[in-house]
Amino acid sequence: MTAPTTADSRTIAAVRHFTRFFTRRIGVLRRRLYASPFSLVEARVLYEIANRPGTSAGEVARDLGLDPGQLSRTLEGLVRRGLVRRRRAAADARRHALTATPRGVAAFAALDRASREEVAALLASLDADGRDRLAASLAAAERLLEPARLSAGEFVLRPHAIGDMGMITAAQARLYAREYGWNGEFEALVAEIAAKFIREFDPAREHCWIVERRGEIAGSIFLVKESESVAKIRLVYLESWARGAGLGRRMLDECLAFAHDKGYAKVVLWTNDCLVDARRLYERAGFVLVRSEAHHSFGKDLVGQYWSLDLAAR
Amino acid sequence: MTAPTTADSRTIAAVRHFTRFFTRRIGVLRRRLYASPFSLVEARVLYEIANRPGTSAGEVARDLGLDPGQLSRTLEGLVRRGLVRRRRAAADARRHALTATPRGVAAFAALDRASREEVAALLASLDADGRDRLAASLAAAERLLEPARLSAGEFVLRPHAIGDMGMITAAQARLYAREYGWNGEFEALVAEIAAKFIREFDPAREHCWIVERRGEIAGSIFLVKESESVAKIRLVYLESWARGAGLGRRMLDECLAFAHDKGYAKVVLWTNDCLVDARRLYERAGFVLVRSEAHHSFGKDLVGQYWSLDLAAR
DNA sequence: ATAATTATTTGACTATGTCAAGTATCAGTC
DNA sequence: GACTGATACTTGACATAGTCAAATAATTAT
């Protein structure tokens, strides 16, 4: 689909560079583990079993990428030391149900604590900003290297903080440029709305929700005061990788509950007809289309839509 | 200094999660390597030697985190197969200078190509946006996990693209909040300036330079038209981790050369007296302080400074 | 000249990872 | 209810990787 470009080779170089870096780093982490009575493999296996009691050998082997034979012997050692119990599974006698014994659980807890302390030492020199950035970077890298269906539980909604407006501006500008070909004019508009929000923010009647997954921003929704009785929803977006987990619904629900709570009689919003998913969301929440209007913005011919929801009717 | 907080434990969890993820991933990459006639360690050693001819065993061992004994044997194997030449170093006869033979270079090139292709396959499903983000995330993670003095050569100056204004807004807001305690008002101001820049951008007489390292934004400087003969520098900043490599100088030089080239007679800028490093930079470039003015902004009592440079005098 | 230090090698391990062949069980089929 | 092909795990036989301590040789410091 996408032809190989220089951007490609830059990313390849980045991944390879990081792999070398991390291999070296993991080598260090690995060595330290030997202060405990466990080898790295034993520790990893114990981790899996402690966190997923009743799992089978095959499952552990697949998840850790271990050879079944190697795992079989590793398990034997753990069983011999009284850390793991291996029982025939009731449903399928080929399988062995694996559980950690109380001693195994204690050993795992000690390992877990040691590992946490080790990482904490590694992060000691970072300030809060650096730590946030690191967490977000690692989460993003992981997500990009291994796309997986993300569960709704991983996402949190939180109020805005310093730096969020800029991040949202960048994210929305890139998202709509990628998906609809909108130009920089849109980024300017978002920046203006965001700036206005900061300047005129009334915490008593307005709110911004940032959707976040492991420190990485995944979306946003704003509720601002249009008049005493009318609230307006603004800057709604959700990254493509965060879609399909019911987040749009959750954001909108949260926002409408707030609006209702603050005594607004009506909620309005402006969007464009090409944003099909968003429109469906508004419809389902009870919004009705008030007016449509063709306009030329962001380098495209668009149709703007004004939607409205009567809160009293709910 | 900083007390352990929940943010800490979140980052620790993020690092551990990523480590598990990457260990599994590397396990996969590692296995594939066996299609070649080299073991992982041999490949890594060959990589080092091919990229740094004349290096010594100790150096390789340190950089790869290998045991000297292990390395000694690995080298023996490579020498036996005619891939590496081991000679007594002229300066120090304890040392062995290591160089790849032509056969070794060829073998390395094949490995290198295979590795690149493998990573390319891993990235095949990502679009340009995802690739950029991945590269930037990995670079940031690496930088944060292992702070090191960065060389000027790693940074590039490029013109702005979609999303950059938002990123710069976020970065500046966070930087000045962290270092000087400025509040959201500053973020609003930056967003407004950035929006105005996009809306009124005149490529013929204005420019924005983004400083970037491996896809991660490290700073910016803007030159905008104040009048036909007067240009104004705006939104100058440099991340703390990018300082000390002479980048400030490089950015300003680039910017002033552009201003001169476009025929401006004068360049002006506004800053605050607490930004000591920036002030020194302007002074050294020949700017003179025109006027100072106390003001209360961004939640602090500040002293604004107006600087000016006569380009004709240069 | 002697002692301490540094770079590398060697010996004797243990741990890790690989591959193929083997055993027991299961699910479906005639 | 015996046969067939999968599946879950084990075992044997190795090759590679990593550890630790002692040995060798050259260099630097005193």
How does pLDDT run across A174-196, given as a tens digit for each residue?
999 999 999 999 999 999 999 99
Confirm if A100 and A49 have CB atoms less than 8 A apart: yes
Q: Note the pLDDT of residue B6.
A: 55
Q: Note the pLDDT of residue A26.
A: 65
Residue-wise pLDDT tens digits, A94-126 = 888 899 999 999 989 988 888 888 888 888 889
Please give the Cα distance from B73 to B57 (Å, whole number). Answer: 11
Separation between the CA of B53 and the C1’ of C6 (whole angstroms): 22
The label of the residue with tokens 């926002």 reads A255
Q: Show contacts of B262-265: CB within 8 Å, 24+ apart.
A: B262/B204, B262/B205, B262/B231, B263/B229, B264/B229, B264/B230, B264/B231, B264/B311, B265/B229, B265/B230, B265/B310, B265/B311, B265/B312
Please give the Cα distance from B39 to B53 (Å, whole number). Answer: 21
CA torsion sign for B147, A36, B11, B213 is positive
Q: Which chain A residue lies closest to B178 (C-alpha atoms)?
A: A129
Q: Note the pLDDT of residue B27.
A: 60
- What is the amino acid identity at position A200? E
Helices marked H in chain B — which ranges? 6-32, 40-51, 57-64, 68-80, 102-122, 128-145, 164-180, 184-200, 247-261, 276-284
Please give the Cα distance from A200 to A56 (Å, whole number). Answer: 58
A65-74, A302-311, B6-15: which range is least confident on average?
A: B6-15
Pick B199's closest partner by Cβ from A128, A162, A188.
A188
C-alpha of B308 from chain center: 30
CATH number, domain B152-310, options 2.60.40.10, 3.40.50.300, 3.40.630.30, 3.40.462.10: 3.40.630.30
Nearest protein residue, CA measured to C1' of D25: B94
Q: How confident is the model at residue A89 (pLDDT cuts 50, 70, 90)?
A: confident
Lookup: tokens for B35: 């299609």
Q: Note the pLDDT of residue B89.
A: 77
Q: Measured over all CA atoms, what is the biggest interatomic distance in chain B, rounded to whole angstroms? A: 75
DSSP string, A184-226: HHHHHHHHHHHHHHHHH--TTT-EEEEEEETTEEEEEEEEEES
With a CB cutoff of 8 Å and minimum separation 6, the contacts of A311 are: A256, A259, A260, A264, A265, A266, A267
Lookup: tokens for B147: 């702070």
**Residue of B96, B77, B85 whose CA lies nearest to B38:** B77
The neighbouring-strand residues paired with B230 are B266
> Residue B25: phi, psi to the nearest 5?
-65, -45
| Cβ atoms within 10 Å of A39's Cβ, excluding its own | 14
Residues in chain B with pLDDT values less than 50: 1-4
Mean pLDDT of A295-302: 86
Q: Note the pLDDT of residue A1.
A: 40
Q: Note the pLDDT of residue B180.
A: 94
Q: How confident is the model at residue A28 (pLDDT cuts 50, 70, 90)?
A: low
First to last CA, chain A: 47
B39 touches strand D (CB under 7 A): yes
A71 touches strand D (CB under 7 A): yes
Q: How far is CA B288 from CA B217, B308, B311, in A?
A: 29, 5, 12
Of A15-24, A135-144, B22-31, which has the strongest mean pLDDT? A135-144
Of A7-21, A207-221, B273-287, which has the strongest mean pLDDT? A207-221
The CATH-assigned architecture of domain B6-145 is: Orthogonal Bundle (1.10)
Q: Which A positions 249-308 lie with beta carbon below 8 A of chain B?
A: none
Please give the Cα distance from B269 to B234 (Å, whole number). Answer: 7
Please give the Cα distance from B12 to A113 (Å, whole number). Answer: 11
Q: Which chain A residue lies closest to B130 (C-alpha atoms)?
A: A144
Q: Would you call B2 and A140 a contact, using CB atoms and an 8 Å cutoff?
A: no
Q: What is the mean pLDDT of chain A?
A: 90
DSSP string, A257-297: HHHHHTT-SEEEEEEETT-HHHHHHHHHTT-EEEEEEEEEE
Confirm if A165 and B186 have CB atoms less than 8 A apart: no
A33 pLDDT above the threshold of 80: no
Q: Note the pLDDT of residue A105.
A: 92
The DSSP H or E segment spanning A71 is: helix A68-80
The label of the residue with tokens 């944060």 reads B144
Mean pLDDT of A69-92: 88
Return the C-alpha torsion angle B8, B12, B14, B18, nearest 10: 160
Q: Which B positions 161-220 lie with beta carbon below 8 A of chain A?
A: 162-174, 177-178, 183-185, 187-192, 194-196, 198-199, 201, 214-215
Q: Give the best residue of A2, A26, A116, A145 to mutate against chain B (max B CB count within 10 A).
A: A145
Give me the residue spans of the domains in chain B. 6-145, 152-310
